[in-house]
Chain A
Amino acid sequence: MSLRKQGMTRRQLLSQSALIGAGFAIGSGFVAGQAQANWALEVEHLKPETMATLIQMARDIYPHDQVGDQFYATAVKGHDSAEAAPGIEDGVAALNAAAKNLGYGRYLDIGWERDRVDLLRSLEDSAFFQQIRGGLVTGLYNQKAVWPIFGYEGESFSEGGYIDRGFDDINWL
């Protein structure tokens, strides 16, 4: 089965994966984006669905609509380690249980961001939430590949600084 089903959104793919269970994973497991996004993340220690939940959670915590899923995936992939995995699985299970209490199948089934965020707010003091949020501060915003999306240019020493490259080029004042 192809991981990159033409025309499917990540969320559709993920919700299908729930229906088809392990069929979603190939080999040691992947979470994949839609065809155009052309990315896939291999998971070694976490269940693919857990990783998919983390990616959604990451986007709900620090939503930037112009930032693609692959960056959120990169931001949370550090949790896919032998040491971290059991705690993360527990945390996601608790998140899904909280979703169930509210009448949803699981976290990923909550359609509106607002409703997912309400759920996260109710858990924001938990160690699990703070672990995910704290990791994202550097995991997401310290990705050099993300910087251009925000217009941030990073180091300039290699180009001789901005002395001749617009340190004072503001023209709308």
Chain B
Amino acid sequence: MTAPFELSDDSVVVVIGTGAGGGVLANELAQKGVSVVALEAGGRYLPEDYINDEWDSFGQLAWTDPRTTSGDWRVSKDFSGLPAWIVKAVGGTTTHWAGASLRFQDHEWKARTTYGDTAGANLLDWPIDPREMDDYYTRAENKLGVTRTGGRAGLPGNNNFKVFEKGARALGYEEVHTGRMAINSADYDGRPACQQTGFCFQGCKWGAKWSTAYTDIPNGEATGNLEVRERCHVMRIEHNQQGKVTGVVYVDAEGNQQEQKARVVCVAGNSIESPRLLLNSASSMFPDGLANSSGQVGRNYMRHVTGSVYAVFDQPVRMWRGTTMAGIIQDEAINDPSRGFVGGYELETLALGLPFMAAFLDPGAWGREFTTALDHYENMAGMWIVGEDMPQETNRITLNSDVTDQHGLPVANVHFSDHPNDIAMRDHAYRQGIAVYEAVGATRVFPTPPYPSTHNLGTNRMSSDPRDGVVNAHGQSHDIANLFVSDGSQFTTGAAENPTLTIVALAIRQAEFIAAELGRQNI
């Protein structure tokens, strides 16, 4: 079914990365008859290959190429070589993700206008009107089969949700439900309903959770217009004298360097690898890296205000049973500066298995204070905080030339420090999360620090003015018309919501734009 394109074929669109952004873009373009070569650094794993064991799955899917960290975030101390917990595989991090699929709130597209001047924050409005996104969101929800949208039923609540819901209601929260999830509550799109197996983070063995690995990728391949080359790591993007990109150089599965010519190049390697690739593609014409005349490539790295609250009860919960993210409280997602911070946050249930709980509950901790928590693992409930963090110029991805990867390329250094607004929001969320569990009789609570980043955003941000960002409202780089950014690194600001639905909606929108521009011979 795959369409083999010649390396010398300079009519193809090259998409780098096959996750939420790249996988959707590649399929959407292929559906429109555009020839696409998708290059993916990771291997191909399907539901039958996924391993329902936390560490074994991590070994199978996680991006573990070397990276370094700096900044005052605790991840830099506890997981200095693992700033982000993301995937290297066909399907990208949509194999790992939990499936929470929320639209941005209108005001979040206009963060600068809504929040005003916030010291230390590099806030900007998105160059997109929220009304423009309505239809793309609807199409994204239908693609993913998001529950509680388009007439699809919600998922049933598991034990972890029931504890969370009862506490939330006791506090007077009203927007409490089992979430809008890209997990089938009934058969949909040829995939079965959720069997409540848990292990959503390890790849859904039923295919009930949407992932590009077994939806958009094979759908695109079936058109004959998409060729996915797995285990192909793009090292750099090439350009000509006119400053147009002409192709990419990559290391193939056999370790040989190849050059694929291209008419258009779309970068979708996630918010750490995408800026790294642009920076590693520096040339005499673009000494600071491609698309970097603004100096913003790699800057404004966002990871959401996160953290978890776990709680122990006097009776069993068995939170690991059923969907990993099984419900949400949305009342705190509003912008209400009287709480002491701008922007808002969502509270979403979360469960970790015993092996990951031991690693992440309080990294580095030991002794009875720690082990007595795990002794009551069966009686634990858990939730995750996801809130809007402030973009800061100094939070950034840079090249660390002291460390190279297996291809000899400088690795990404991920520098992050919280903004005071982030800290105020997290503290508020911890207090509320703790109150939720105490309202149902928690005997002990754990305000757990953020994990290595799962949401990585903002490092090639959209802006209307080329001086403020890297790409325009269509993800097209300000500097190079046939170079696009197609993943979460386009985000101008992060909003309170989990990002993937928006990444997908933007990819659908970008595919329309690219196809139209190709047709008009503009690129």
- Decide if A155 touches B199 in the complex (CB within 8 Å): yes
- Decide if A138 touches B318 in the complex (CB within 8 Å): no
Please measure, in the bound complex, the distance between the C-alpha atom of A114 and the C-alpha atom of B134, giving whole angstroms. 61
- Decide if B359 touches A137 in the complex (CB within 8 Å): yes
- Decide if B53 touches A62 in the complex (CB within 8 Å): no
Given A133, A152, A168, which contacts B157 in the complex, CB threshold below 8 Å?
A168
B249 at interface by CB-CB < 8 Å: no
With a 10 A CB-CB cut-off, give which of B198, B205, B370 has the most chain A CB atoms: B198
Please measure, in the bound complex, the distance between the C-alpha atom of A170 and the C-alpha atom of B157, giving whole angstroms. 11
A63 at interface by CB-CB < 8 Å: yes
- Which residues in chain B, 157-175, are within 8 Å of chain A measured between CB atoms? 157-159, 162-163, 166
- Decide if A172 touches B162 in the complex (CB within 8 Å): no
- Decide if B368 touches A151 in the complex (CB within 8 Å): no
Given B55, B318, B366, which contacts A166 in the complex, CB threshold below 8 Å?
B318
- Decide if B355 touches A170 in the complex (CB within 8 Å): no
Please measure, in the bound complex, the distance between the C-alpha atom of A165 and the C-alpha atom of B370, giving whole angstroms. 30
- Decide if B157 touches A153 in the complex (CB within 8 Å): no
- Decide if A62 touches B321 in the complex (CB within 8 Å): no
- Decide if B374 touches A150 in the complex (CB within 8 Å): yes
Given A62, A147, A168, which contacts B158 in the complex, CB threshold below 8 Å?
A168
- Decide if B205 touches A157 in the complex (CB within 8 Å): yes
- Decide if B371 touches A62 in the complex (CB within 8 Å): yes
B176 at interface by CB-CB < 8 Å: no
- Decide if A153 touches B53 in the complex (CB within 8 Å): no
Tell me the smallest distance from the CB of B10 to a CB of chain A, in Å: 45
- Decide if B354 touches A150 in the complex (CB within 8 Å): yes
Please measure, in the bound complex, the distance between the C-alpha atom of A172 and the C-alpha atom of B317, giving whole angstroms. 9
* CB within 8 Å for A151 and B318 given contacts A141-B358, A173-B162, A173-B440: yes
- Decide if B368 touches A63 in the complex (CB within 8 Å): yes
- Decide if A152 touches B196 in the complex (CB within 8 Å): no
- Decide if B55 touches A170 in the complex (CB within 8 Å): no
- Decide if B195 touches A150 in the complex (CB within 8 Å): no
Chain A residues with Cβ below 8 Å from B162 are: 168, 170, 173
Tell me the smallest distance from the CB of A115 to a CB of chain B, in Å: 13
- Decide if A61 touches B374 in the complex (CB within 8 Å): no
* CB within 8 Å for A166 and B375 given contacts A117-B367, A156-B52: no
A142 at interface by CB-CB < 8 Å: yes
A66 at interface by CB-CB < 8 Å: yes
- Decide if B358 touches A167 in the complex (CB within 8 Å): no
* CB within 8 Å for A63 and B367 given contacts A155-B53, A167-B158: yes
**A contacts with B: majority SS:** loop
**B contacts with A: majority SS:** loop
- Decide if A152 touches B197 in the complex (CB within 8 Å): no
A83 at interface by CB-CB < 8 Å: no
How many residues of chain B are within 8 Å of chain A by beta carbon?
43
A20 at interface by CB-CB < 8 Å: no
- Decide if B197 touches A161 in the complex (CB within 8 Å): yes
- Decide if B195 touches A160 in the complex (CB within 8 Å): yes
Tell me the smallest distance from the CB of A100 to a CB of chain B, in Å: 23
- Decide if B378 touches A152 in the complex (CB within 8 Å): yes
Given A150, A162, A168, which contacts B197 in the complex, CB threshold below 8 Å?
A162
Please measure, in the bound complex, the distance between the C-alpha atom of A163 and the C-alpha atom of B158, giving whole angstroms. 9
- Decide if A64 touches B318 in the complex (CB within 8 Å): no
With a 10 A CB-CB cut-off, give which of A147, A156, A160, A165 has the most chain B CB atoms: A156
- Decide if A163 touches B195 in the complex (CB within 8 Å): yes
**What is the 8 Å Cβ interface bit string for chain B, positions 418-455, against chain A (1 contact, 0 not)?**
00000000000000000000001000000000000000
- Decide if B355 touches A141 in the complex (CB within 8 Å): yes
Chain B residues with Cβ below 8 Å from A165 are: 321
- Decide if A163 touches B196 in the complex (CB within 8 Å): yes
* CB within 8 Å for A64 and B374 given contacts A150-B354, A167-B158, A173-B440: yes
Interface residues of B (CB under 8 A from A): 52-55, 156-159, 162-163, 166, 194-199, 205-206, 315-318, 320-322, 353-355, 357-359, 364, 366-368, 370-371, 374-375, 377-378, 440
**What would be 25 A-B contacts, judged by CB atoms less than 8 Å apart?**
A61-B367, A133-B366, A137-B358, A138-B55, A138-B355, A140-B358, A141-B358, A146-B354, A147-B354, A150-B378, A153-B320, A154-B52, A156-B198, A157-B197, A161-B198, A162-B321, A162-B322, A163-B194, A166-B321, A167-B156, A168-B156, A169-B159, A169-B318, A170-B162, A170-B317
7 nearest CB pairs, A to B: A151-B378, A161-B195, A161-B197, A167-B322, A155-B52, A141-B358, A167-B196
Known: A133-B364, A151-B378, A173-B166. 11 other contacts (CB 8 A): A61-B367, A62-B371, A133-B366, A147-B354, A150-B374, A150-B377, A156-B321, A157-B52, A161-B198, A167-B156, A170-B162
